[in-house]
Structure 1
Amino acid sequence: MKKWSELSLAELNKTKSKLKGALIGFIILGVLIFLALFFLRAKLVLFIPAMVLPITWLPIYISLKSVNDEIRLRNATNINQ
């Protein structure tokens, strides 16, 4: 995988939209799992994986934040030139 600085602005925007879509999809899936467990009146032990689930989204969020920072840096560089 290339570093963010090696990608073009179009590739960064494409990566940003993919990461954002994946994060939104996983959040929706997590909410649906939590609601399903709640409405099925599952035992508390079954909620533990659903509670740990947001921690697994952290790498996606960190990658999205770094892509946004790189895009912001490039846009600031283009304005200053």
Structure 2
Amino acid sequence: MRAVELFEQRRSSSEAARAVGMHPESVRRWRRLWEQGGAQALRRRPATGRPPELDDTRVEMVRLRRPPGRSSLLDSLHPVSTS
């Protein structure tokens, strides 16, 4: 991860944020995690919280009922397969 390389080079959080194109507060949060647990602390974790109510079949049903040419949050969460 590029941000970790910058942390190891003792670059500021603001400088790292500009370099990776992220909000400075996000990079400050990453730095705190990195300082507490190293690069391993920045690894992805399984999602927590309430499970989705719609399975892939129902998401596709909603997409098919939508007027043509309209995009929505569903398109980013469940991209249309072209195969």
TM-score range, shorter chain: under 0.3
Whose radius of gyration is greater, 1 or 2? 2
Q: Return the TM-score normalized by structure 1.
A: 0.27
Whose relative contact order is higher, 1 or 2, with alpha carbons under 8 Å and at least 6 apart? 1
Q: Return the TM-score normalized by structure 2.
A: 0.27
The structure with the greater share of residues assigned to helix is 1
